[in-house]
Amino acid sequence: MSPEEEQPYIVCEDLFKIYKIADLEVVALRGLDLTVQKAEFMAIVGASGSGKSTLLNILAGLDQPSAGRAFVGGRDLLTMTASEMVDYRRKQVGFVWQQTGRNLVPYLDALQNVEVPLILSGVTKKAATARSRELLDAVGLSHRLHSSPSMLSGGEQQRVSIAVALANDPPLLLADEPTGELDSIGAAAVFDLFSNLNRRYKVTVIIVTHDPAIAARVDRVVAIRDGRTSTEIFRRTAVDGNTTRIVHDEYVLVDTAGRLQIPREYLQSLDIGGRAKVALAGSHVEIRPEPRRHQEER
Reference 167, options 206, 106, 205, 123; nearest CA is 123
19 binds, among ligand ADP, Mg ion, none (CB under 5 to 8 A by kind): ligand ADP
Question: Whose CB is nearest to Mg ion?
Answer: 53
Nearer of residues 26 and 247 to ligand ADP, judged by Cβ? 26
| Per-residue CA distances from 139 to 199, 209, 218, 245, 285 (Å) | 13, 20, 18, 29, 48
Instruction: Single out the residue of 25, 26, 121, 294 in contact with ligand ADP (rule: CB under 6 A).
Output: 26
186 binds, among Mg ion, ligand ADP, none (CB under 5 to 8 A by kind): none
Pairing label, strands 41-45, 204-208: parallel
Indicate the residue type of 97: W
Question: Cβ(42)–Cβ(206) under 8 Å?
Answer: yes
Reference 290, options 274, 279, 280, 298; nearest CA is 274
Question: Nearest approach, Cβ of 56 to ligand ADP (angstroms)?
Answer: 8
Residue 30's SS3 state is: strand
Q: Provide the mask over 226-255, with x wherever binding to ligand ADP is found by CB under 6 A and - wherever it is not.
A: ------------------------------
Nearer of residues 50 and 100 to ligand ADP, judged by Cβ? 50
Nearer of residues 68 and 117 to ligand ADP, judged by Cβ? 68
Range 52-81, binding Mg ion (CB under 5 A): 53
Question: Nearest approach, Cβ of 172 to Mg ion (angstroms)?
Answer: 18
DSSP-assigned states of every residue in 112-136: HHHHHHHHHTT--HHHHHHHHHHHH
Nearer of residues 51 and 149 to ligand ADP, judged by Cβ? 51
257 binds, among ligand ADP, Mg ion, none (CB under 5 to 8 A by kind): none
Nearer of residues 60 and 110 to Mg ion, judged by Cβ? 60
Q: Does 54 bind ligand ADP (CB under 6 A)?
A: yes
21 binds, among Mg ion, ligand ADP, none (CB under 5 to 8 A by kind): ligand ADP
Q: Does 21 bind ligand ADP (CB under 6 A)?
A: yes
The span from the CA of 298 to the CA of 296, in Å, is 6
Question: Cβ(25)–Cβ(44) under 8 Å?
Answer: no
Q: Does 52 bind ligand ADP (CB under 6 A)?
A: yes
The span from the CA of 78 to the CA of 210, in Å, is 28
The span from the CA of 61 to the CA of 250, in Å, is 30
Residues contributing to the site for ligand ADP (CB under 6 A): 19, 21, 26, 28, 46, 48-54
